[in-house]
Every structure is written in C-alpha cells, then in structure tokens.
C-alpha cells in the first residue's frame, strides 16, 4: 500500500467575506505547433487532438476543466494524464504533450533544454492553490504554527506529546501522496527551506489513499491539495470531510486561537501590505502556491485554446467553485458588523 521516501468545515461566521470577481477571457492565444505527440496541422484552438500532462494534485479541478471544455467544443479531444510533478515535466520536455499543468515553472535547466529544441515555451498562471494539513478527527492538535510544522515534517518532532503534551497518540506519522510529488517538494523547499524531510515520512501512492490513511490512523498527519476537500457539492469530498480534520495554521508569533486559518479562498487571495495593515484579522495562508500552465507550441492550436479557456472567465469560475482561488480575479474584502 505504501512506499518509503527520504474537516474543512464550512467557514465560521467572522467579520470577513470574500466576493470573487470573475476575470475576463484572455486575448488571443500564443502561437502553437502541434497537437498530441505528432504533427497535426489541422488542429485549431477548439478542435483536433492534444496531449496534456497534469500534476495529479490538481486532478479534481483539472478534470472539471477538461470535461467542460470538451462539452463546449465537441471536436476537441484532450488526452490527459495525471502524474507526479517530475513526470509531468519529462513529458513536456520529451514532446509527449503540448501542455503541462503544475505548481512550478520550468527550471533553468529545463528552459535550456527547450532552447536546444528551438522551442520557446510560454507560461500562464491560472490559479492559486493551498496545501491543507490533514489529521485524524481524534487528534487534539488541530492548531499548528509553522514552527511546529517544521519540527513535524523535518523529523525533529517525533512524538505528538512534543506538540501538545498529550501522550496518547504516540509517534508522529508523516504521510504524503506520492513519491516525487509537488506537495512533498513544496514542504521541503518552502516550509523547511531546503532541509530534508523526515526519514520516516512515506508516500501513500495517491491522494485518495492518503486521505484514507489519515482517516484510519490517529497518529497520522498528511498534506493534500485543497481541491481534494473544498468542493462541497462533490459527494466524494463530503465523504472525505466526514473522516478527516483540517488543521488551522498560522505564521504569526505568539498566536491567539483566532490567528489560525484554513485554506479558504479569502486567505488564498493575494493581499497588499496596506490591506493587511488595515485589517489585522486578515492573513495570507502560509502554504499557498500558484498553478501554472506551460505549453510548447509554435502556432495557435488546441493546446493554446485550452489554456486560454482555463485562464479565461469560464475556467476561472471552475477554479472558484472548486475552492481554489482564480488567478485572474480580484478578491474584494467586505467588512461587516460582527453579531
């Protein structure tokens, strides 16, 4: 079941609200080359065949994007694979697909390889994701600071009693989705600042298996992309939320209980320093990251059409409904009277 590796509840009533304004559709597509894995000069932005590789962390929301696009454009045929992040970019570099969707841009080495192929890739930011820290419902340590999370994921904190003083849970059991996943990379690079992950951390082989593992192991702590647990209209999501707890986290020193936040859209939305100063009750969720669509094409074909759809009004509304933050939208914070 596993391989080794080295509840969002509905938001409580607060003085905050978030009104997401949908973005307008992007202008013309970038130039495109071929569709899928072979030259196909007949494809257009709304018809033909194209291969797309997607970080499996985003499979729920991106499958919704694919399904909607193909319903609107019945002559469009998208061949989509959901894989760990490393495999997504290997597919793009090897020209197996024309579009890659992931939580990072091309590295310098990957860009250089593209240049050797006389290809100028284009990158479009399409959304903002949050990584949820998930626990078993019986775990009393549901409010965690970044300092505590660093101890947990680095392996310096080995017992739950080091977090809360309660001894009944025993050892900390860290689990990720898959080997070479974007979630484990983000925790290592952004939370641990490049330090190694706990040597006892392991991969559950998929996001559903990760959620099942945490739901059945009281000592477990996992990391999952928010779109797996944020679409309340999805019966699968509602089932997951009945079985796990989502931790509140904060980057603030000496926090009060109200300082701990979950990856709701109001906290995923970018905020200026002036806004945060004017509204101290607001925060930026500490474990948030952009979602990018990277494409390699030399003329306007189906890959470009799909990326423009995802970055445009209809695609951004799909992100909004799925609980992620649309990138091409504005969040207007409305302060209301507390009751």
Q: Where are the domains of the chain?
A: 3-7+129-278, 18-128+290-331
Kindly report, residue by residue over 94-148, the tens digit of the pLDDT: 999 999 999 999 999 999 999 999 999 999 999 999 999 999 999 999 999 999 9
Q: What percent of the chain has pLDDT over 90?
A: 76
Lowest mean pLDDT: which of 26-30, 70-74, 164-168, 204-208? 26-30
pTM: 0.86
In sequence order, which residues have a C-beta less than 8 Å from that of residue 150 and are 6 or more positions away?
Answer: 156, 191, 192
What are the beta bridge partners of residue 292? 102, 125
**Rg of the chain over all Cα atoms, to the nearest angstrom:** 21
Q: Do the domains 18-128+290-331 and 3-7+129-278 match in fold? A: yes
Confidence of residue 298 (pLDDT cuts 50, 70, 90): confident
> Can you list the positions of beta strands (E) in the chain?
3-4, 18-21, 48-55, 76-83, 99-102, 122-135, 143-145, 173-176, 202-203, 220-225, 245-246, 248-250, 288-295, 325-326, 330-333
Q: What is the CATH number of domain 18-128+290-331?
A: 3.40.190.10
Strands 122-135 and 288-295, sheet pairing: antiparallel
pLDDT of 268 > 70? The answer is yes
Annotation: CATH topology of 3-7+129-278: D-Maltodextrin-Binding Protein; domain 2 (3.40.190)
333 — pLDDT class (breaks 50, 70, 90): low
Q: SS3 for 297?
A: coil
Quote the pLDDT of residue 142.
Answer: 94
Determine the average pLDDT of the residues in 262-283: 92
């Amino acid at each position: 079941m596993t391989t080794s590796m080295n509840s969002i509840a509905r938001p409580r009533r607060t003085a905050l609200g978030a009104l997401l304004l949908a973005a307008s559709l992007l202008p013309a597509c970038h130039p495109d080359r071929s569709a899928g894995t072979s030259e196909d000069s007949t494809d257009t932005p709304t018809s033909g065949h194209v291969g797309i590789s997607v970080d499996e962390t985003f499979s729920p929301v991106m499958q919704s994007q694919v399904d909607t696009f193909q319903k609107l454009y019945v002559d469009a045929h998208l061949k989509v694979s959901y894989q760990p992040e490393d495999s997504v970019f290997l597919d793009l570099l090897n020209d197996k697909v024309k579009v890659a969707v992931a939580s990072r841009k091309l590295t310098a080495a990957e860009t250089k390889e593209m240049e050797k192929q006389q290809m100028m890739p284009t990158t479009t930011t399409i959304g903002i994701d949050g990584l949820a820290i998930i626990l078993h419902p019986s775990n009393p340590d549901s409010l965690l600071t970044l300092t505590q999370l660093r101890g947990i994921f680095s392996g310096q904190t080995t017992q739950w009693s080091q977090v809360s003083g309660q001894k009944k849970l025993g050892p900390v059991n860290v689990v990720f989705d898959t080997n070479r996943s974007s979630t484990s990379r983000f925790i290592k690079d952004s939370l641990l600042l490049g330090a190694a992950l706990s040597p006892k951390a392991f991969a559950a082989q998929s996001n559903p298996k990760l959620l099942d593992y945490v739901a059945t192991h009281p000592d477990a702590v996992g990391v999952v992309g928010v779109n797996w647990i944020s679409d309340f209209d999805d019966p699968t999501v509602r089932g997951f939320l009945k079985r796990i707890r989502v931790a509140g986290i904060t980057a603030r020193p000496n926090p009060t209980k109200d300082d701990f936040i979950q990856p709701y859209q109001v906290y995923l939305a970018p905020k200026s320093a002036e806004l945060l100063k004017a509204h101290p009750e607001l925060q930026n969720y500490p474990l948030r990251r952009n979602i990018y669509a990277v494409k390699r094409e030399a003329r306007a074909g189906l890959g470009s059409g799909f990326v423009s759809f995802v970055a445009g009004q209809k695609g951004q509304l799909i992100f909004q409904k799925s609980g992620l933050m649309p990138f091409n939208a504005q969040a207007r914070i409305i302060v209301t009277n507390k009751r």
